């Protein structure tokens, strides 16, 4: 039964890629879908790129174990801070300015917004390098569930996933990705509700599961009386819970694969609809995933945790479900992961081709050659990430923490300020790049210990959060004391927000009353 469902799903995904091939003849079609993607497709593309096996398996399991039901706040933060506010604040301005500057990628945006080819190339390298560990974390999470459902070797799961993703992205480009994201998003919404209901039912329902969780002490041992640490409003460790909320929510404001969705918006109505749809989607999928993970301690003992690790908590919770529900879980996580992977590889390959290879070529690549190079880089990117993912001992949360910390730490502040403020300087952008990248690399090497303001700095998640916040402070401070761009350049860049429309006057003679 599970295998049949899986085969049917894979065939439909590949079929959509083949169907969209005829509509992908130019670079603009391949990367942006012709900037004509409707609101529901854009919103689902945003949501499905946001949430994958990394969230459902890695983060929901680990942080549900650490914080109990309070981990649901992470999903709520993802919905409000990671979905609602970016759409409201960044959506329209990103679409308008990126079209005005004719930029299809974030590095291209930086290059034209700050009139710097070097900035474009440097940011392209950062994108390519630091999207790889995030991609590896997606493979890692998915493969653990496949191993649980089919007892298939981890390596075969990783390689098979890469091949399937490569086929439909290489063939169909962004339109295939968006259409598949819509289908996958529907599966995720229905699947997460069904899985939560079935999983809690196996423990006697919500009330009984809640009762069992309330008897587990914050030290992780069962106690005869109520303890309540893992069912309390903010959980046993609210400070470090806040760090996870900030990283996983604020990070979307500066991640190239997330911001890219705003480039493709069709019209004003799409922004309004997309804001609502993406927020509800995040609330159900992310909120549901973390809510489910909050019950991990009543399914997995401390002894079992030492054997399976935090990445094995969710698979362990689900292994006793009926076969049909395991099939739903597999398709749910496969849907989430494939949508995220397709977004990552498309972002990486387009960035490398348009922002690194093309500028270095003496004779710029034409449309046909650019598409060939882009598709080749998709295969290369997937191959590298597979090699990293084959190290299954790497924690999903760590891989994602490093990736998001470097990318959002480098890009979030200069991108957001650059949309609104003419005063952002080139030097401040480079400083932000350095803080995000160098800070992440040093953390990987040194692995610091201790706490800052109660936050555990050994955690890549918390450290990534610090890098994002640091960028928001550093960019305006450095901009105030470094040389500004020329006024004429800035006026031309920001002219897109002041376009005037001519209207036909129907009453040529003014009303005397209105003139008084």
Residue 411 lies in a domain: no
Residue 431 lies in a domain: no
Task: Let me know: does 148 contact 313? Beta carbons within 8 Å.
Answer: no
Residue 52 lies in a domain: yes
Tally helices (H) and strands (E) across the chain: 25, 2
- The rounded distance, in Å, linking the Cα atoms of 348 and 99 is 20
Residues in CB range of 301: below 8 A, 6 or more apart: none
Task: Let me know: does 254 contact 162? Beta carbons within 8 Å.
Answer: no
Residue 482 lies in a domain: no
Task: Let me know: does 70 contact 361? Beta carbons within 8 Å.
Answer: no
Please state the pTM of the whole predicted model: 0.80
Residue 333 lies in a domain: yes
Residue 204 lies in a domain: yes
- For tokens 């998915």, the residue is 142
Element (H, E) at 41: helix 39-50
Q: Going residue by residue through the chain (516 aa), what tens digit of pLDDT does each one get?
A: 666 767 777 777 677 666 666 555 555 555 554 455 667 777 777 877 787 767 777 788 889 999 999 999 999 999 999 999 999 999 889 988 988 888 878 888 999 999 998 898 898 889 888 887 777 777 766 666 666 666 667 677 777 777 777 776 666 565 666 666 677 778 778 888 888 888 888 888 899 999 889 888 776 544 444 456 788 888 888 998 998 899 889 988 988 888 888 887 777 777 888 899 899 989 998 999 999 999 999 998 888 888 888 778 888 888 777 777 777 777 777 766 766 776 677 777 777 776 767 766 666 666 677 777 777 777 777 777 777 767 666 566 677 788 888 999 999 999 999 999 999 999 999 999 999 999 999 998 888 888 887 888 888 888 889 999 999 999 999 999 999 999 999 999 999 887 654 445 455 455 555 544
- The rounded distance, in Å, linking the Cα atoms of 496 and 7 is 48
Give bridge partners of residue 452 from the DSSP assignment: 455
Residues in CB range of 493: below 8 A, 6 or more apart: 97, 100, 101, 112, 113, 422
Residue 124 lies in a domain: yes
Structure tokens at 346: 């498309």
Residue 468 lies in a domain: no
- The rounded distance, in Å, linking the Cα atoms of 494 and 423 is 12
Q: What is the CATH number of the domain that holds 194?
A: 1.20.1730.10
Task: Let me know: does 259 contact 106? Beta carbons within 8 Å.
Answer: yes
**What are the phi and psi torsion angles at 106 (to 5°)?**
-65, -45
Concatenating the DSSP letter of every residue in 57-71 gives IIIHHHHHHHHGGGG
Domains: count for the chain: 1
Q: What range defines the domain where residue 338 resides?
A: 2-394
């Amino acid at each position: 039964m599970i295998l049949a469902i899986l085969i049917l799903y894979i065939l439909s995904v590949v079929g959509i890629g083949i169907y969209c091939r005829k509509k992908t003849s130019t670079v603009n079609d391949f990367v942006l879908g012709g900037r004509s993607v409707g609101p529901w497709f854009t919103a689902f593309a945003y949501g499905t790129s946001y949430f994958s096996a990394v969230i459902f398996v890695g983060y929901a399991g680990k942080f549900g174990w650490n914080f109990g039901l309070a981990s649901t706040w992470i999903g709520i933060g993802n919905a409000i801070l990671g979905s609602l506010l970016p759409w409201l604040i960044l959506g329209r301005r990103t679409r308008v300015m990126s079209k005005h500057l004719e930029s299809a990628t974030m590095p291209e945006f930086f290059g034209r917004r700050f009139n710097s080819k070097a900035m474009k190339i440097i940011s392209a390298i950062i994108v390519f390098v630091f999207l790889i560990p995030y991609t590896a974390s997606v493979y890692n999470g998915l493969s653990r569930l496949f191993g649980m459902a089919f007892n298939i070797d981890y390596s075969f799961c990783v390689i098979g996933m890469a091949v399937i993703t490569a086929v439909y992205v290489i063939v169909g480009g962004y339109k295939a990705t968006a259409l598949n994201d819509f289908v996958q998003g529907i599966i995720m919404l229905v699947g997460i509700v069904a899985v939560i209901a079935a999983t809690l039912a196996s423990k006697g329902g919500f009330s009984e599961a809640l009762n069992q969780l309330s008897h587990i002490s914050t030290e992780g041992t069962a106690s005869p009386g109520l303890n309540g640490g893992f069912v309390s409003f903010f959980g046993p460790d609210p400070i470090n819970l806040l760090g996870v909320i900030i990283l996983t929510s604020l990070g979307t404001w500066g991640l190239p694969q997330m911001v890219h969705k705003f480039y493709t918006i069709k019209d004003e109505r799409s922004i309004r609809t997309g804001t609502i749809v993406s927020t509800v989607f995040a609330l159900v999928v992310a909120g549901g995933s973390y809510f489910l993970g909050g019950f991990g301690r009543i399914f997995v003992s401390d002894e079992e945790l030492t054997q399976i690790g935090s990445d094995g908590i969710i698979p362990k919770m689900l292994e006793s479900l009926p076969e049909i529900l395991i099939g739903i879980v597999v398709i749910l996580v496969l849907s989430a992961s494939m949508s995220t992977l397709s977004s990552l590889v498309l972002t990486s390959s387009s960035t490398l081709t348009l922002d690194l290879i093309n500028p270095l070529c003496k004779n710029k690549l034409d449309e046909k050659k650019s598409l060939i190079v882009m598709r080749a880089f998709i295969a290369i990117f997937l191959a590298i990430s597979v090699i990293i993912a084959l190290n299954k001992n790497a924690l999903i949360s760590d891989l994602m923490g490093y990736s998001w910390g470097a990318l959002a730490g480098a890009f979030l502040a200069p991108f957001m300020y650059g949309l609104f403020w003419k005063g952002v300087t080139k030097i401040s952008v480079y400083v932000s790049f350095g803080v995000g990248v160098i800070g992440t690399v040093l953390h990987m090497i040194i692995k610091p210990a201790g706490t800052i303001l109660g936050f555990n700095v050994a955690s890549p998640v918390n450290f990534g959060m610090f890098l994002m916040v640091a960028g928001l402070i550093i960019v305006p401070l450095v901009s105030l004391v470094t040389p500004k761009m020329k006024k004429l350049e800035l006026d031309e860049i920001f002219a897109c927000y002041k376009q005037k429309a001519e209207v036909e006057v129907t009453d040529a003679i003014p009303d005397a009353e209105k003139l008084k």
